[in-house]
Amino acid sequence: MTVSLPSPLPSSLPSSLPSSLPSSLPSDPQALSRILAGGDRDTEGLSVWPRSTRPEPGADVSVGGVSLAEAADRFGTPVYVLDEQEVRERCRTYRTAFPDADIVYAAKAFLCRAMAHWVQEEGLGLDVCSAGELALAVTTGFPPEKIVMHGNAKSPDDLSTAVRLGVGRIVVDSASEIARLAAITPEGTRQKVMVRVVPGISAGGHAKVRTGTDDQKFGLSITDGSAQHAVARILDQPHLELVGLHCHIGSQVATVKPYVAAVRRVVGLMARIQDQHGIALPQLNIGGGHAIAYRPGEESLDVGVLAGRVRAELEDGCARAGLPVPRLTLEPGRAIVGPAGVVVYRILAVKRTAGHTFVAVDGGMSDNPRPALYGVRYAPRLIGRPSSAPPHLVTVVGRHCEAGDILADDVALPGDVRPGDLLAVPAAGAYHLSMASGYNLVGRPPVVAVAGGIARVLVRRESLDDMSRRDIGL
């Protein structure tokens, strides 16, 4: 089974959509797969843009029926534009592919009140990593029982807030958390927990985002027995209820094979737990990390293929081990919000040296540190004015005082790009603003939601006054 997104999306959608709205997902697996891969939009260079993207007169581009050039004029630059319907359709993609699983949105990719509201309306849970993310979600009205608390080093405040608010599951990531969590769980109650295990599988788009091996900070090793020891300790705690195992093998994983291997190893551990302790764990969380394409031609993970292969491995493995099939949980983040976002910058300077052309924009590593951290590459596009100039390879750089403040290296832009032009960068919805900083006190950009030709601010631009208020000493 291959499941993906419908194409094209309607051009006249309301700005706020009810949870009862039908998903309208196509039923033909091949058509769905072509849609997720970009389909005919490759000819326009739009395969990695939101589904609602349309070329407009004057070399402009619209998303959700809203002109990006007009959005830049209205809201200033840099500005992050988030396609609400793209987010919703990607939520539905996962629910359709995994109808009998819990889909939990990984809030670390991007979180604001509207985002929490959208994923709740689409029937997803939420994965949070701090008391701050948890508080934002709960004050938005998100049901705490549908929230999973993560973190390799949860603070006492993280744990106490999670217990007090009644989160559905807390993922234990170290042995020290067990006694700490048991001590703060109120008498007469039991906190549901999972153990994050390390399956010994290397997967991910960069060494810094590979989390399935023993040489990194997350989880408890199956190989050295740490995971089994944690399970035994939890089972000895009357205030803790072990409901399952969790594993996350990495991020930007573009193939299904590592997930299948992880399921096989974790099912093997579940079988040993049943043999040693006489219990069959009812839940298995296989994390997220599903790759998206940042540039045309790049691979993204096929969610439908993932669903079929994981389900088959899980059922076969449990049958061989004599285990009941546990309920699956998945935690997609980037794959839901990443392709829904576009950032628009204004060019401040063009500098031509003997060997390079540097195009400097009014943002950079303070609103997107990922190129500096992981060497991520993007596909910027000149918008807002036509150009017949031949393309030249340029390096798009930020405005910050770091030589590594590079947003896109060796990208083709018209040779007449100049200060005042607009550059739009697709696939910008995940791990940009959630990782943004106050470097150089530039201020973080706003987030603007678009749908049905209507634009509205979700998160306002950070002002100098906002930053000055925190500086209270002299």
**Could you tell me the mean pLDDT of each successive run of 10 residues in the chain, 474 residues long?**
35 34 41 43 79 96 98 98 98 97 97 98 97 96 96 92 96 92 94 91 56 63 89 95 92 90 93 96 94 93 95 96 97 97 98 92 95 89 96 96 92 96 98 94 97 98 94 88
Residue range of the domain that includes 262: 84-336
- Predicted TM-score (pTM) of the model is 0.88
80-102, pLDDT tens digit by residue? 999 999 999 999 999 999 999 99
Cα→Cα distances 246→266, 326, 470, Å? 8, 12, 38
pLDDT for 214: 58
CA dist., res. 190 & res. 239, Å (int): 4
- Are the C-beta atoms of 219 and 198 separated by less than 8 Å? yes
User: What CATH number does residue 424 fall under?
Assistant: 2.40.37.10
Of 336, 361, 379, the residue at which a domain comes to its end is 336
Clarify whether residues 405 and 432 are in a common domain: yes
Clarify whether residues 131 and 71 are in a common domain: no
pLDDT for 25: 44
Nearest Cα to 290, choosing from 253, 235, 255? 253
pLDDT for 21: 36
pLDDT for 375: 83
Nearest Cα to 138, choosing from 157, 121, 105, 161? 161
The structure tokens 């609103």 sit at: 367
Clarify whether residues 130 and 14 are in a common domain: no
Clarify whether residues 121 and 269 are in a common domain: yes
Pairing status of strand 327-330 against strand 283-285: parallel
Clarify whether residues 396 and 308 are in a common domain: no
pLDDT for 141: 95
Active-site residue, selected from the candidate residues 91, 129, 318, 401? 401
Of 276, 304, 336, the residue at which a domain comes to its end is 336
What single string gives the DSSP state of each residue in 173-220?
A: -SHHHHHHHHHHSPTT--EEEEEEEE-----SSSGGGB-SSTTSSSSE
User: What CATH number does residue 110 fall under?
Assistant: 3.20.20.10
Annotation says 401 is catalytic: yes
Cα→Cα distances 262→202, 224, 267, 311, 446, Å? 10, 16, 8, 13, 39
Clarify whether residues 329 and 365 are in a common domain: no
Pairing status of strand 169-172 against strand 125-128: unpaired
CA dist., res. 109 & res. 91, Å (int): 14
Of 281, 307, 336, the residue at which a domain comes to its end is 336
Clarify whether residues 56 and 140 are in a common domain: no
Clarify whether residues 137 and 268 are in a common domain: yes
Clarify whether residues 68 and 95 are in a common domain: no
265-291, pLDDT tens digit by residue? 999 999 999 999 999 999 999 999 999
Structural domains in the chain (count)? 2
pLDDT for 251: 81
Burial grade of 144 (CB within 10 A; 0-12, 13-18, 19 or more) = middle
Clarify whether residues 53 and 112 are in a common domain: no
Clarify whether residues 406 and 342 are in a common domain: yes
Clarify whether residues 244 and 217 are in a common domain: yes
pLDDT for 407: 95
